[in-house]
Amino acid sequence: MKLPGVFHVIFVAPNPNRAEEILDELPRNRGTQFVVTLYEYLKLDPLMRAYVSANQPTDFQELSAILSGVRTGNLGRPRPNR
């Protein structure tokens, strides 16, 4: 069964080890349809650059960029929007 339209799935992990395990299970050919973030980042600022996908696991992106389909290209640790 194919669902109409576009959707994204956000996995929220309790720690970095669990986030890595989730990323390892996600399909790499789906772009940013499936993304992972840590609970601590989500709690701090859900709009910060703290979301990664399986095909770009070191490319932290903002949720707004993921939903709009635009890559931000920010590497390194996530950063809050200020």
Which sequence spans correspond to the domains of the chain?
A: 9-75
Record the tokens describing residue 61, joined without a space: 């992106």
Residue 79 contacts residue 48 (beta carbons within 8 Å): yes
Give the per-residue pLDDT at 48.
Answer: 92
Q: Could you give the C-alpha distances from 49 to 2, 5, 31, 37, in angstroms and in order?
A: 30, 25, 16, 9
Rounded to 10 degrees, the C-alpha dihedral 50/27/7/72 comes to 40
Across the range 54-71, mean pLDDT stands at 84
Q: What is the pLDDT of residue 37?
A: 96
Predicted TM-score (pTM) of this structure: 0.77
Q: At 1, is the secondary structure helix, strand, or coil?
A: coil
> Please, are residues 72 and 57 in contact by the beta-carbon 8 Å criterion?
no
